Structure 1
Amino acid sequence: MLSSGGHALLAVYDEALPAVYGYLIRRTRDKGIAEDLTSETFLAAMDRARGDDPVDPSIPWLIGIARHKLADHWRRMQRTPIPVEEVPDHPGDDQWDVHLDRILAEYTLFRLSDTHRAVLTLRYVDDCTVAQCAEMLDRTVTATEALLTRAKRAFRASYPSDPATSAAKGGRR
């Protein structure tokens, strides 16, 4: 039998599912991982809703759980290179430059260590404060500030300064 928290979670499920999945797919870019993390999010939410401390389930609350599940995933994940999409012969217009910059930034991000990728994504994609990043990554604020500094330095060192030169060298600096 469902508790009142369980019924409240079911009441927001249809509206919350696309929001939670959308949040996760934009950050993982992998349908399978996003689906798994979405399931984990709702299972954790149901466990919490059935607990002794009543909750009022909402989409922001579920996104917070999803953020924790994503951080857990990043902690577990092993480093694997992500291939860059093929570049057409004739890019066309300025929109292509924006698209290429996004691809290069994502590629550079996925070349970093899991911890660096996680802290940069939480801070600059999710717009979390350093304190929130620290909480998500189970670190102190001071350690997270130092990690963020190292991650930004690693990103800048890995990001190709000239995409044409980088492509000619096989994507390595």
Structure 2
Amino acid sequence: MALYDDALPQVYGYLLARCGRRALAEDLTAETFLAAVAACRRTPPPVPSTGWLVGIARHKLVDHWRAAERERRGLRAIESEPDPPDDPWDERLDALLARQVLDDQSGTHRAALTLRYLDGLPVPEVARALGRTVGATEALLVRARAAFRRSYTALGEGGGR
């Protein structure tokens, strides 16, 4: 119970900062703790800690984005051509606009960008979290950055909603 009280704000805060929606963060927090309880019933049980719970939360968020992406693919085809990887883009991003653009990306792109740039994971760990090879993840990140850049530029030039 003490771990729950200590970890709840950190797990919820982690999820809220990445998804930006309270209801979704609350649902994913609940799923995180349910998954933790299920894991603790296994033999041998893991050693529960706040970091371990945040790791579960990360996986729940990635799973959510994957499911959202599968749903989006069912509704429409996604087209994107990657920009050259050496394209310099050093502008300072407006945080609110960046959040809006990130939320509008496909689930796979959002997951890759979040894990790599918000969580600061190295590409091999991003690949492991997404269930991809390192090469496929590097290509995904190139496409995700290009899609983010296009959307950010379009919204920044007055093309917002």
Report the TM-score when normalising by structure 2: 0.80
Q: Name the count of aligned residue pairs.
A: 140
What residue is the counterpart of 2:88 in the other structure?
none
Any idea what SS the aligned residue of 2:43 has? coil
> Structure 1 CA distance, aligned partners of 2:28 and 2:139?
28
Cα offset for 1:105? 1.1
Equivalent position to 1:102, from 95, 100, 108: 95
Structure 2 segments unaligned to the other structure (5+ residues): 73-91
- Largest Rg, 1 or 2: 1
Q: Does 1:54 align with 2:57?
A: no
Equivalent position to 2:109, from 106, 116, 129: 116
Find runs of 4+ consecutive structure 1 residues off by over 4 angstroms: none
Contact 2:154 2:160 in 1 (8 A): no
What residue is the counterpart of 1:4 in the other structure?
none
Report the TM-score when normalising by structure 1: 0.74
Partner AA of 1:142 in structure 2:
G
The root-mean-square deviation of aligned C-alpha atoms, in Å, is 1.9
What residue is the counterpart of 2:77 in the other structure?
none
Listed one character per residue, the Cα deviations across residues 56-81 of structure 1 (whole Å, up to 9, x for unaligned) are 110000000000000000011145xx
Structure 1 segments unaligned to the other structure (5+ residues): 1-9, 80-97
> Structure 2 CA distance, aligned partners of 1:106 and 1:135?
25
> Structure 1 CA distance, aligned partners of 2:160 and 2:143?
22
What residue is the counterpart of 1:67 in the other structure?
58
